[in-house]
Structures are given as C-alpha cells and as structure tokens.
Amino acid sequence: MLLRVLVLAYGVAGYALFLATFVYAIGFVGGFLTPTRLDGPREGSLLAAVAIDVGLLAVFAVQHSGMARPAFKRWLTRYVPEAAERATYCVLSCAALLLMFALWRPLGGVVWDTDGAARVAVYAAFSAGWLIVLWTTFLIDHFDLFGLRQVVLFARGRPYPPARFVTPGPYRWVRHPLYVGWLTVFWAAPTMTAAHLLFAAGTTAYILIALVLEERDLTAAHPEYEAYRARVPMLVPRLRRARPLIETRRTEVTP
C-alpha cells in the first residue's frame, strides 16, 4: 500500500512539474515575463555561447529520444515500478528543459523583424502552435502521455490497459499534428534572433530525426500503422482529407 501511495505522489508531482515547465517554456520561447529567455543581447564569446546552446539542445535530444525507446524502457523498469516509468520520463524531460532554460546563452543579432499587422499575425501563429500542442495531447490521452493515468491506476490496484491506436481529428490529415504545433511555436518568431534561429533549426532537425525512430516504434507496436502511414502524410496535409483508416485508438510514442 505504501508503494502505491509513493508512486501516486511521485506521478502527481511529476505532472505538476510538467505544467510548470510548460508555462515557463511559453515565456522562455516567446520572451514573456520569465527571468531567462531565448533571445537577448550576447554576453561574452560567441563561440562559447554557441557551444553551450548546442550542447543543451543535444542533452535534451539524447534524453528525450533515448528514454522513449522500448529497450531503454525495459531496462528502466528493472529499477522503478512499471507504473512510474512514464512519470520518470516526464520528470527527466522537464529537468533537461529546465537546464536549458537556466543555462541558455543568447547570441544577439536580428535575422528578421516584423511590425504592424505582420507582427500580430506571427504572434497569432505562435499562440495557435501552443494550442495545437496542448489540444493534440488531449486527443491522444493527455494524462497517459504524462504518466498520471498509470500511477492513478496503480494506486487503485487496477491493471494498466495500454492505449490503442486512434486517428482522431487532425490525425486524419497528418500523422504528427503534435509536432506541427511544435514547429509552429519554434518558427513563429516576430523577431528572429540568431539564438532563436539556432534553437528553431536545432529542434527542427531533432524532430525530423526523432520521427524516424518514433515511426519505427509505432510500426512495430501497431501492425495497422504501416497502412496508415501510406495514406496520411507526416507533417504537411494534402488538400483532400484522407478518409479514416480504422476506428481504433492511437498511441503517441514521444520521440
């Protein structure tokens, strides 16, 4: 009983950490209110700043993709309860992001700047990107994605039924609308600085590489995914909506 309570408390704390990190990320990327920001004047050596920023992006990429692989999950659950595996993934993902937020070095310089109606439009796209990210997590089971469902079921002594494959809403137009949202957030910059460009390019490269790994895992886990992939584009929707392949549940594998 004590283990169930501890795992539940751990999962709830991990989810609270995710919410705080998500809110901070909006301010960090958008330049709102947070004490550290993506953009700003450069201090010190340009080479050192670039090396630090690239290193922070690499730490997040290795953690985020490495821990999502099935082999790593099997290894991790030898040491932590299986119900806490996803919560642990989320906690360490947040830790990698918070490390980036704390140590990020602005580079100065402006690549482009907008004003007037164009600036309003870019901010609207930035806001829409965050809404897409949050919305799509609920479409694929938000609380499962961040480990809360698993710890609640464990605390209640109920078995965890793995999520099934589903193609709700935007998943019928593109296979990865969650990442469409992230890419929109990263590139919708009213003022694009050198550091923001480095961040956007680095995260875009990471997403494209991670999607290859994620699709491999999805194909292995769901035999029907191969046919779905043949019908629905990855990130850019076709003009004509793809008809639903099957009415089953979808599992999102975080890269």
Nearest CA among 135, 150, 171, 131 for reference residue 90: 150
Whether 250 shows a pLDDT value over 70: the answer reads no
Q: Give the model confidence (pLDDT) of 146-187 as tens digits.
A: 999 999 999 999 998 876 788 888 999 999 999 999 999 999
Q: What's the pLDDT at 166?
A: 80
End-to-end CA distance of the chain: 33
Question: Is 80 exceeded by the pLDDT of residue 252?
Answer: no
Rounded Cα gap, residues 225 and 218, in angstroms: 7
pLDDT attached to residue 220: 87
Residues 6+ apart with CB under 8 A from 214: 68, 176, 253, 254, 255
Distance CA 235, CA 21 (A): 25
The pLDDT tens digits for 208-225 are 999 999 999 888 888 889
Residue (of 112, 105, 125) closest to 49 by Cα position: 105
Q: How much of the chain exceeds pLDDT 70, in percent?
A: 93
* pLDDT 10s digits, 16-45: 999 999 999 999 999 999 999 999 999 899
The per-residue pLDDT for 222 is 85
Q: Where are the domains of the chain?
A: 2-231
What predicted TM-score, i.e. pTM, was given to this entire model?
A: 0.88
